[in-house]
């Protein structure tokens, strides 16, 4: 464990200044590796996130027969085995802390005729896998897990998979993507119905690699019917991964709440299903602008310019939750610096993330002197710039990287320093976080 301490920047520093590039998008990085492993030929990936979660997916795919390596220019090369060409692994596949990685890989292997066992760390082993097991069983796969559907879990893929039609009971990009990956090695057309739109990175990546998709809007709603034609011939591609908006969120909030700050975050993914936080911050009065808009591997990107702003509390529309589900912890930090109440509801999904993020955030905020009310499906944070955040607490991260980074950002405006009990978990998604942020003017140290 590595205890980290965050406190107000040195008064003479003049706020947070500069340009930075945060790590590559975690969701896209997972999918780029998987699709490259299934394509015929060599896929190259620039800007891949080299956090523990993504590296775990790379190691898993290597164990299944794909040739994956990084060259001296930090470009990753994936020599695929083709759809249906994966081989049985010799050992247990350790997915660490990656809920995305394990659920996507379970979907991929559900329609390959092999047996594999997935394990994970203490946090991942507490997270529910039933939500993917249920639809993947319909393809003909079999699962055997601890306490029903907890890790470690063994999957035996279907020898003759059958296409399915499945309506998602809850909005989940991970479940949708697991089904779509299972569909790749299934003859015929598999249909996924989502009544609430979720992240569409998988759809974009499928189309970029040549998968035949039929995307149909649902009548009278905002959802979609997604049809995947199985057993395509995937064509290897060159990819440049956008930087992760979820990682950019910490620098953005830090600049908003730290006086005299101005930052430019480069090459950030602006997928419409991922920018709910940016929209919410703008609703709160944030000075956020987009420059140099462009497209990379089917994804919209831009450079984000952010300046210190006087924020006001808002009620976040619950239907916006899927587009910012990972950003609510850092939104709490912005809310603590805002004037008035910020109401966040419709967040039941946060109860089953790396930690129960609602409960953990509420406990940590109260320990730091922030006024917060917990709801079953969210929380309300009351901010008052005339009543400074007290700080002085050591916050338990519960092995959750986003909790750790969020409270380190709160330390930028607290009277007393804020400690997080284990900063090492940040490497899950944001290697070199402390070095990068301190280079902009933050004051984070190892205790």
Owning domain of residue 397: 4-24+242-446
Tell me, yes or no, whether 351 and 219 share the same domain. Answer: no
**Amino acid 313: pLDDT:** 98
pLDDT at residue 335, as a whole number: 98
Which listed residue (326, 400, 421, 422) is catalytic?
Answer: 326
Q: What is the CA radius of gyration of the chain?
A: 21
Q: Are residues 62 and 139 in the same domain?
A: yes
Whether 339 and 231 map to the same domain: the answer is no
For 273-322, what is the HEC assignment? CCCHHHHHHHHCCCEEEEEEEEEECCEEEEEEEEECCCCECCEECHHHHH
Q: What is the pLDDT of residues 151-196, one digit of tens each?
A: 999 999 999 999 999 999 988 999 999 999 999 999 999 999 999 8
User: Are 201 and 164 members of one domain?
Assistant: yes
286 and 410 in a single domain? The answer is yes
* Nearest-angstrom CA–CA distance, 348 and 131: 14
Q: What is the mean pLDDT of residues 95-123?
A: 96
pTM: 0.89
- 187 and 270 housed in the same domain: no
Backbone angles phi, psi at 414, to 5 degrees: -90, 150
Residue 441 has pLDDT above 70, yes or no: yes
pLDDT, position 388: 86
**Residue 345: per-residue pLDDT:** 96
Number of separate domains in the chain: 2
Give the pLDDT confidence of 376-413 residue by residue, as tens digits.
999 999 999 888 899 999 999 998 999 999 999 999 99
Based on the residue annotation, tell me whether 356 is a catalytic residue of this protein: no
List the 115-119 sheet strands across, edge first: 93-94, 115-119, 150-156, 142-146
Reply yes or no on whether the pLDDT at 13 is more than 80: no
Same domain, 411 and 308: yes
Same domain for 153 and 139? yes
Are 81 and 165 in the same domain?
yes
pLDDT band at 12 (very low <50, low <70, confident <90, very high): low
pLDDT at 5 over 70: yes
Summary mean pLDDT of the chain: 95
pLDDT above 90 for 349: no
């Amino acid at each position: 464990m590595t205890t980290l301490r965050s406190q107000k920047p040195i008064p003479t520093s003049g706020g947070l200044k500069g340009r930075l590039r945060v790590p590559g998008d975690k969701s896209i990085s997972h999918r780029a590796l998987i699709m490259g492993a299934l394509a015929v030929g060599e896929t190259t990936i620039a800007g891949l996130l080299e956090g523990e979660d993504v590296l775990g997916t790379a190691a898993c795919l290597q164990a299944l027969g794909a040739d994956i390596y990084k060259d001296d220019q930090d470009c990753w090369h994936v020599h695929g085995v083709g759809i249906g060409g994966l081989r049985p692994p010799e050992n247990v596949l350790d997915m660490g802390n990656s809920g995305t990685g394990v659920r996507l890989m379970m979907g991929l292997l559900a329609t390959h005729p092999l047996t594999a066992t997935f394990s994970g760390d203490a946090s991942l082993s507490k997270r529910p896998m039933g939500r993917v097991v249920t639809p993947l069983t319909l393809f003909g796969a079999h699962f055997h897990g601890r306490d029903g559907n907890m890790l470690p879990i063994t999957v035996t893929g279907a020898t003759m998979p059958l296409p399915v039609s499945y309506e998602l009971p809850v909005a989940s990009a991970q479940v949708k993507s697991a089904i779509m990956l299972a569909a790749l090695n299934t003859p015929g057309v598999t249909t996924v119905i989502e009544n609430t739109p979720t992240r569409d990175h998988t759809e974009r990546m499928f189309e970029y690699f040549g998968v035949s998709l039929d995307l149909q809007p649902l009548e009278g709603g905002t959802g979609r019917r997604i049809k995947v034609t199985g057993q395509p011939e995937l064509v290897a591609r060159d990819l440049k991964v956008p930087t992760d908006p979820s990682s950019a969120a910490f620098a953005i909030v830090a600049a908003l709440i730290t006086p005299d700050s101005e930052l430019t975050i480069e090459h950030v993914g602006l997928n419409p299903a991922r920018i709910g936080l940016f929209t919410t911050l703008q609703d709160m009065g944030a000075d956020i602008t987009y420059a140099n808009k462009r497209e990379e591997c089917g994804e919209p990107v831009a450079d984000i310019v952010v300046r210190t702003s006087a924020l006001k509390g808002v009620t976040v529309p619950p239907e916006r939750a899927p587009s910012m589900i990972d950003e609510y912890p850092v939104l709490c930090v912005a809310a603590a610096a805002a004037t008035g109440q910020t109401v966040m509801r419709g967040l039941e999904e946060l109860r089953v993330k790396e930690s129960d993020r609602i409960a953990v955030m509420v406990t940590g905020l109260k320990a730091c002197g922030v006024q917060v009310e917990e709801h079953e499906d969210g929380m309300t944070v009351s901010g008052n710039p005339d009543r400074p955040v007290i700080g002085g607490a050591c916050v338990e991260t519960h092995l959750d990287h986003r909790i750790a980074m969020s409270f380190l950002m709160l330390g930028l405006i607290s009277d007393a320093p804020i400690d997080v009990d284990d900063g090492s978990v940040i490497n899950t998604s944001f290697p070199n976080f402390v070095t990068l942020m301190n280079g902009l003017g933050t004051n984070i140290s190892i205790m």
